[in-house]
Amino acid sequence: MKRRITSSDSVYVIVVLTPIILLIALFIYYPALDTFGQSLTNRNLRIRRPPKPVGAANYIKLLEDEEFWEVTGRSFKVVIITLPLEMAVAFGIAMLLNQRFPGRGIMRTLTILPWMLPGVVNGFLWGWLLNGEYGALNGFLYQFGLISEYQYWLRAPESQIFWVTVVQTWTRYAFPTIILLAGLQSIPEDLFDAAKVDGASAFARVRRITFPLLLPSFGIALVVEFIAAFQIFDVVWTLTAGSSAGGSLNPFTKTLMLYNYELVFRDLRVGLGAALSYIILAMSLFVGMIFVWRVYNQGVQEA
């Protein structure tokens, strides 16, 4: 029998939910709306006069700015390199952790350790590993005779983005691993047993059974990790872009979020920075919806 909802239940729900709704409105929706309002003004903290409404002028100015498109292209470059690498690592580890072996629980715990550390910590850690004078990576390769002299891994501009994607993959691979592992455990074993009886190889089972049934999990992981890679800040800042207070940012690794930081916290152009925040939000939502439509929904239909 269905339990009837009494007036006391309704009062309890209202009492519990009202503070939560108010907190969400206060700390999420109000700042978001205020930021949108600021994006429609010429607010600049260096200018001591009240801001004036400028409509969509800030958005137009950004879209006509060459630097905006340069940092946008660099942000997508980070995404294009990071996502396939991250998904491949996560899928391989999830497949291994889905097997039965002694110490599996400990290995699953160790897998999420990089994800538990803040991105700033991982950035400084890898900065130490890649240091050209005393870095652990140089010491390891030199001891095994793989290099004859220490290398400055972060000196060349073309290598800086590559190492940013490596550190981002190291920092974030655990989340898609957890999502894919949960998806693997939801696949019935009977499907694999039937495929083995039919003579399907291990590769064929992965291709015909595992991968198609994991598409919804891949969709969720791709949306979250796209946003994390597209809005990357802490790893880039600590690894390659950090500088002294007031100094210029590294132009070879300046992404959208660092450009936004520069506009708001260094140039104090709050209106322009607020407009850039909403452009980043719009692009993130657009690409995220594509992943949902093309990957997640396709996987749900095939399941």
Instruction: Give tens-digit pLDDT for 21-31.
Output: 888 888 888 88
Q: What is the pLDDT of residues 30-60, one digit of tens each?
A: 888 999 999 999 999 988 888 999 999 999 9
Q: Is it the case that residue 176 has pLDDT exceeding 90?
A: yes
CA dihedral 109, 111, 116, 120 (to 10 degrees): 150
250-295 per-position pLDDT tens digit: 888 999 999 999 999 999 999 999 999 999 999 999 988 888 787 7
**DSSP secondary structure letter of residue 209:** I
Give bridge partners of residue 41 from the DSSP assignment.
53
Q: Residue 20, class by beta-carbon neighbours within 10 Å (0-12 exposed, 13-18 middle, 19+ buried)?
A: exposed
Phi, psi of 53 (to 5 degrees): -65, 135
Q: What is the pTM of this model?
A: 0.85
pLDDT class for 244, splitting at 50, 70, 90? very low
Pick the CATH number of 58-302 from 3.40.50.300, 1.10.3720.10, 3.40.50.360, 1.20.1070.10: 1.10.3720.10
Exposed/middle/buried for residue 252 (C-beta within 10 Å: 0-12, 13-18, 19+): middle
Tokens describing residue 116: 């538990």
Task: Evaluate if residue 70 carries a pLDDT over 70.
Answer: yes
pLDDT digits (tens, 9 = 90+) for 83-136: 999 999 999 999 999 988 888 888 888 888 888 888 889 989 999 999 888 889
